[in-house]
């Protein structure tokens, strides 16, 4: 099995003329079922936690299955559940209920924030500033705005991913309508001084709006959206082991944001269509669990993160940590470059042994391009191509991490031998 799979990956076992589905079926057959599996690819997707799924199940079949806008019993039930979950989320996040707008996910919320706000406020200014390491949904959204006549500037970061405040200051002027900087970087875990950034921006231009993607911060850092200083805040569900297909954009009272998707109006002004009631219920439950156990879970995540991080750096030669360490790093984030390893090849090798990670930037890996985040912090192409991103979660145990630490050195050694790098690595 091992040789077959390696042959498939590296030497093109399946002809390009076969359908993609046939390739996937062959890939799964060659892969087999590892004895133990540890999922560390939380940047891309995640299983729903059992305690979240339990809360959701009745709403798929028995409860609140109607359209919340319709005037009959199933519709009223759906409306009540939707509003109750929104109220609960607002209380947990330190926001007002009517400020929360549900979207199909983090990317949609980010697009709504940037494009929706920019369009609605273009008479006030057409300059937008973002950090150069924002989520790809933000980077691509500003590219669309730039093509529509907006002026875009990217604030540089240092070698650990922190925004250079002096250079950010020089980019903000009276024409700047919007600034976007994430609380915790999705790829290298850098915890930005977001309150300081918000104050800096508003001191320079009191009319500026600040957006922050807090998807990698909520439930892991003690933050209140009311006190964060930002005007628009994105939150994701699946990064909290909630359901996929649901996210939220919190819009401060009084801000004008245009819809970017049109369709049947529901209970929300900014996003049309029938609301995902089971998803909202699961989202609210996922936030509730993390916030209620914030200190315990954050401590546990940091402990597993450091066990994984230090175990790899101390036992595998020619490795490089990407991003900061300690409290300045996201509690769940490990990003390491392995010299002499191509990230995609190492991802496959680890998968054979039941360890699931992502290589380079999660959103660009299919293009086989080096991570733009790692290039921005000064990593070379070899370092960026050889990077692996891992995120731990609250359901994992020390035993899971120890399994990863047993697998990684062997996988790196094998890839390096194939590539002729430094003997056994």
Instruction: State the catalytic residues.
Output: 363
The answer to whether the CB of 181 falls within 8 A of the CB of 230 is no
**266, 275 in Cβ contact below 8 A?**
yes
Query: What whole-number distance in Å separates Cα of residue 74 and Cα of residue 163?
Result: 49
Q: Are strands 209-213 and 232-236 parallel, antiparallel or unpaired?
A: parallel
Distance separating the N- and C-terminal Cα atoms of the chain: 24
* DSSP H stretches of helix in 32-185: 50-56, 58-61, 73-93, 106-111, 117-120, 136-147, 165-171
Distance CA 34, CA 2 (A): 11
Q: Is the dihedral of CA 80, 81, 84, 87 positive or negative?
A: negative
Q: Return d(Cα 198, Cα 230) in angstroms, integer.
A: 6
3-class SS at 337?
A: strand
What is the C-alpha radius of gyration for the chain, rounded to an integer number of angstroms?
22
């Amino acid at each position: 099995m091992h040789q077959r799979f390696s042959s498939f990956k590296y030497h093109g076992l399946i002809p390009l003329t076969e359908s993609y589905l046939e390739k996937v079926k062959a890939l799964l057959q060659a892969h087999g079922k590892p004895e133990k599996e540890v999922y560390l690819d939380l940047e891309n997707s995640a299983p729903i936690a059992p305690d979240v799924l339990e809360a959701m199940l009745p709403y798929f079949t028995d409860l609140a299955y109607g359209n919340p806008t319709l005037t009959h019993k199933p519709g009223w039930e759906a409306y009540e559940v939707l509003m109750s979950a929104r109220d609960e989320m607002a209380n947990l996040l330190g926001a007002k209920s009517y400020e929360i707008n549900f979207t199909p996910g983090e990317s949609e919320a980010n697009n709504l924030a940037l494009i929706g706000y920019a369009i609605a406020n273009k008479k006030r200014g057409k300059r937008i500033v973002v950090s150069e390491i924002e989520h790809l949904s933000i980077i691509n959204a500003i590219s669309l705005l730039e093509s529509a006549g907006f002026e875009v500037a990217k604030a540089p970061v240092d070698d650990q991913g922190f925004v250079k405040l002096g250079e950010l200051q020089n980019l903000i002027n009276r024409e700047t309508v919007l600034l976007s900087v994430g609380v915790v970087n999705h790829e290298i875990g850098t915890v930005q001084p977001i309150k300081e950034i918000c104050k800096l921006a508003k001191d320079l231009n009191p009319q500026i709006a600040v957006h922050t993607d807090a998807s990698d911060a909520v439930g892991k850092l003690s933050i209140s959206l009311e006190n964060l200083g930002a005007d628009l805040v994105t939150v994701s569900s699946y990064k909290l082991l909630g359901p996929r297909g649901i996210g939220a954009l919190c819009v401060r009272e009084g801000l004008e944001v245009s819809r970017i998707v049109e369709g049947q109006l529901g209970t929300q002004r900014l996003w049309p269509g029938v609301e995902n009631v089971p998803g909202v219920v699961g989202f609210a439950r996922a936030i509730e669990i993390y916030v209620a156990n914030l200190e315990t879970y954050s401590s546990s995540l940091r402990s597993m993160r450091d066990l994984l991080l230090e175990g790899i750096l101390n036992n595998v030669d020619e490795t490089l940590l990407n991003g900061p360490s300690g409290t300045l790093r996201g509690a769940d984030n490990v990003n390491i470059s392995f010299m002499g390893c191509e990230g995609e090849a190492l991802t496959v090798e680890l998968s054979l042994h039941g360890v699931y990670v992502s290589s380079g930037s999660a959103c660009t890996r299919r293009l086989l391009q080096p991570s733009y985040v790692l290039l921005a912090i000064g990593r070379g192409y070899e370092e960026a191509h050889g990077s692996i991103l891992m995120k731990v979660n609250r359901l994992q145990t020390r035993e899971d991490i120890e399994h990863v630490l047993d697998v990684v050195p062997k996988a790196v050694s094998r890839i390096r031998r194939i590539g002729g790098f430094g003997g056994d690595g």
